[in-house]
Amino acid sequence: ETGVTQSPTHLIKTRGQQVTLRCSSQSGHNTVSWYQQALGQGPQFIFQYYREEENGRGNFPPRFSGLQFPNYSSELNVNALELDDSALYLCASSLAGQGNTIYFGEGSWLTVV
């Protein structure tokens, strides 16, 4: 158990819809990152949040957005869903300055039909 919890675990959306995924970081961790993992691939970095601000972004379009709250929990929002957005979305938490110990939640499986 990493202490990183994500919800929902599974969901199905229709192309064009919007989705919000949620994450609670491990106690004491102030940095949250989101990753997308397509089937058979390694996780790809979407963005990172620290002190409620985006602190680095991967190669993902603006329709992928996020929030971090004062309690360090976080949300990932994806607008205008496309079929290729079907993937496992992983939340990872760490303590700023200790990026060598990054812990993942179990992920949210998103299927876009």
Partner 1 sequence: QKEVEQDPGPLSVPEGAIVSLNCTYSNSAFQYFMWYRQYSRKGPELLMYTYSSGNKEDGRFTAQVDKSSKYISLFIRDSQPSDSATYLCAQTGGTGTASKLTFGTGTRLQVTL
Identify residues 37-96 at the interface with partner 1 (CB under 8 A).
40-45, 48, 55-56, 58, 88, 90, 92, 94, 96
Q: Which of 11, 20, 65, 106 binds partner 1 (CB under 8 A)?
A: 106
Q: Is 100 in the site for partner 1 (CB under 8 A)?
A: yes
5, 24 contact by CB (below 8 A): yes
Specify burial of residue 29 (Cβ count, 10 A radius: 0-12, 13-18, 19+).
buried
Closest CA to 19 of 107, 101, 96, 82: 82
Residue 16 or 99 with smaller CB distance to partner 1: 99
Residue 67 or 102 with smaller CB distance to partner 1: 102
Distance CA 90, CA 34 (A): 6
Distance CA 84, CA 112 (A): 8
Number of residues that bind partner 1 (CB under 8 A): 32
Rounded least distance, CB 28 to partner 1, Å: 16
Taking each continuous run of H as one helix and of E as one strand, the counts in the chain are 0, 11
The binding site for partner 1 (CB under 8 A) comprises 2, 4, 31, 33, 35, 40-45, 48, 55-56, 58, 88, 90, 92, 94, 96-107, 109
